[in-house]
Every structure is written in C-alpha cells, then in structure tokens.
Chain A
Amino acid sequence: MKHKKPKMSGISLSRNQQLQLKELDLFIDFLSDFIDKIQKSKIRVIDFFENIKFCRELSRERKAFYKYINSTLKSFVRLSEPKQVDIELRYSKAVKKFNKLLPTAKKEIESEFGLITRYLLLRELDKFIKIIATAQNKMSNHLYKDNSQEILSNPDLYNQIASDWNNLENK
C-alpha cells in the first residue's frame, strides 16, 4: 500500500482521521518533513505580518503534529514487538538528526528574525522539541526497562556486570 505523505500545513490531518496500523510509517515521514522545513528556514519572509502568518502556520502544524503523534502512539502499542523495535529505532535516528540541526536552526532564528517573530519561532521550536522528546520516551519506555538504579543499588549485580566488561576488555 502506498502511503500518502501528510502535508506540513496539517490540512491532511483532519480531526476525524483514523490512522491505520499500516500507516504508522507516516510518523517518521512527518518528522523528516519537519527537519527539512527547519533546514529550509533560510527562506524567510521580511514583512512583519507575513512573519506572524508564518508563525501561526507553524503553530497549526505543531498542533496537528501533536494530535498525530498521540494517535500514532496508540497504534504503536498494538504492533508486534519487532515492528515496535523497528519504528522506535527509526524514530530515534530521526530525532538524533533533528537534534544535530537544532543549534543551527536556533542560531538562524536568532540572527535572521525580528524580536517578536524570534520569540514566537523559538517558542514553537521548544514546543516541538517537547512533543518529540515525550513521544520518544513513551516508545522507549514501552519497549525497554531502565535498570540503572537497580544495578547501582545492587552491589552483586554491579560487580557481575563489571566482571562481564572486564572479561570482554581483557580477552
């Protein structure tokens, strides 16, 4: 089945849209699209009102993205484990790429936009980052258990793991 790519304007993500499990890959496509948009943020508008319009458009996209992610996460937990692992891995890689672009994107926003637009854009970006990080945590926590506290509070377990690493390092 060929997936239809969601539009960044959010128009294609209507309120009543029911996502099928097979369409889960759209999740990744959507994030990639957003990364592309940040990369293309150099195509800025000069007029103040145009800037505000641009910010409102981003805000709409962010809200659509939030709804989309929540809906997709509900589908995610119903998938088979290998599929979940695959999606979590691809999403993590997309987030990694996104995080690498962030400093440049923020610098561009700070240097190329006026005060109000700058404030609005950075606020939108922060909200996007929170949504993306929360989604990643939800997926990771569903698949993987964080054993760090258990290891640190259990000397026998800590020593066992240290011994495993020591054996690996000194073979």
Chain B
Amino acid sequence: MIKLFRGDVILAWGPDGKGGLKKRPLVVFADTPKNSDSIVVYCTTQNDGDENNTIFVKADSKDGENMGIDDDTYIRPFQIGPINAKAIIKKIGRCALMSEIQRLHDKRMAQR
C-alpha cells in the first residue's frame, strides 16, 4: 500500500453484514507510512440527526468531485480511529475540508 497523507480520501473494505465485503470511503486524518494502519475519519450516507457535528458533502459538488465519492456523504469528525492497512483499497481523492474536520474534532476534545 502506498504512503497516505492527511486529507487523502480512500476506499476501504468493510463488512457488508452478510459475511462479505463492501467498499466504503474514509478520510485520512494523519499521514500514514507505507503498509501501515491508518487513522481515519468515518464517513457515512446517514447523519442520524446529528447535523451540527457532521459535515455534509454532496457527491456532485466541487468538494464531492475532489473527494471522488459517488454518493452524498456525511463526514463525522467525532468518529476517528485506526483502520487495518489490509482493508485499504486505494486512494480516490482529496478532502479540502480538513480544517473544518479538525475544528469539530477539537471542539469534541474540549468537551471531554
């Protein structure tokens, strides 16, 4: 696997709930050396009513095109964690919203 940089958008294998795999996008939160687990920001198509703490990106917006996403996506800066290097499929784009992600992440940290 290639070296990844903060702000890269990747596709990763995730469980599909039926014992198989499905591809899902994630935003890389910290620079990652080759073949290493990566710290990523969770992305989903649902916001679960938490609009203040998510960043909505429309697939056909400029940000969405740069990210390489196919569906409208909510980035969830409160949900950051490691993902196994083997799960990473490829880089699909760049996220220009890292400062907003960082701001929401810092806000969460200050609340703790």
Q: Residues of A with Cβ closer than 8 Å to B?
A: 81-82, 85, 89, 92-93, 96, 140, 143-148, 150-152, 157-158, 160-162, 164-165, 167-169, 171
Residues 34 to 73 of chain B near chain A (Cβ within 8 Å): 40, 42, 44, 65, 68
Q: Does B33 contact A (CB under 8 A)?
A: no
A140 to B21 CA separation, bound complex (whole angstroms): 19
Q: Which listed residue, A85, A93, A144, A151, touches B87 by the CB 8 Å rule?
A: A151
Chain B residues with Cβ below 8 Å from A157 are 84, 86
Please tell me if the beta carbons of A167 and B81 are within 8 angstroms of each other in the complex: yes
A-B interface, 4 closest residue pairs, ranked by CB to CB distance from nearest: A171-B79, A168-B42, A162-B15, A144-B90
**30 chain-A/chain-B pairs, Cβ below 8 angstroms:** A81-B2, A89-B92, A92-B92, A93-B68, A140-B90, A143-B90, A144-B89, A144-B90, A146-B89, A147-B13, A147-B86, A147-B87, A148-B13, A151-B86, A152-B21, A158-B15, A160-B84, A161-B15, A161-B84, A161-B86, A162-B14, A164-B83, A165-B14, A165-B15, A167-B81, A168-B81, A168-B83, A169-B44, A171-B80, A171-B81
B33 to chain A, nearest CB (A): 12
Q: Residues of B with Cβ closer than 8 Å to A?
A: 1-3, 13-15, 20-21, 40, 42, 44, 65, 68, 78-84, 86-87, 89-93
| Smallest Cβ-Cβ distance to B86: which chain A residue | A147
Please tell me if the beta carbons of B1 and A144 are within 8 angstroms of each other in the complex: yes
Main secondary structure of the interface of B (DSSP, over half): strand
A110 to chain B, nearest CB (A): 26
Q: Taking A171-B42, A171-B78 as contacts, is the C-beta distance between A164 and B1 under 8 angstroms?
A: no
Please tell me if the beta carbons of A89 and B81 are within 8 angstroms of each other in the complex: no
